[in-house]
Amino acid sequence: MIILTGPSASGKTATCLYLEKHYGIKKVVTHTTRAIRVNEIDGVDYHFVSKEEFEKMVNNNEFIEHVTYNGNYYGTSKAEVKDDKCCTLDFNGALTYYNLHDPKIVIFYLYCDVDTRSQRMKDRGDSLNKVEERIVGDVKSFKVDEKIEKIFDYRIDTSKYPLEEVAKIIYDKYFEILKKRK
Determine the number of helices (DSSP H) and then strands (DSSP E) in the chain.
7, 9
Give all strands (DSSP E) within the chain, no chain letters: 2-5, 26-27, 31-32, 47-48, 63-69, 72-77, 85-89, 106-111, 154-157
Q: What is the pLDDT of residue 1?
A: 95
Q: What is the pLDDT of residue 40?
A: 93
Q: What is the pLDDT of residue 161?
A: 95
Q: What is the pLDDT of residue 133?
A: 84
Q: What is the mean pLDDT of each run of 10 residues along the chain (182 residues)?
A: 90 92 94 94 95 97 89 91 87 87 94 85 86 81 77 94 96 96 86
Q: What is the pLDDT of residue 89?
A: 84
Q: What is the pLDDT of residue 85?
A: 94
pTM of the model: 0.79
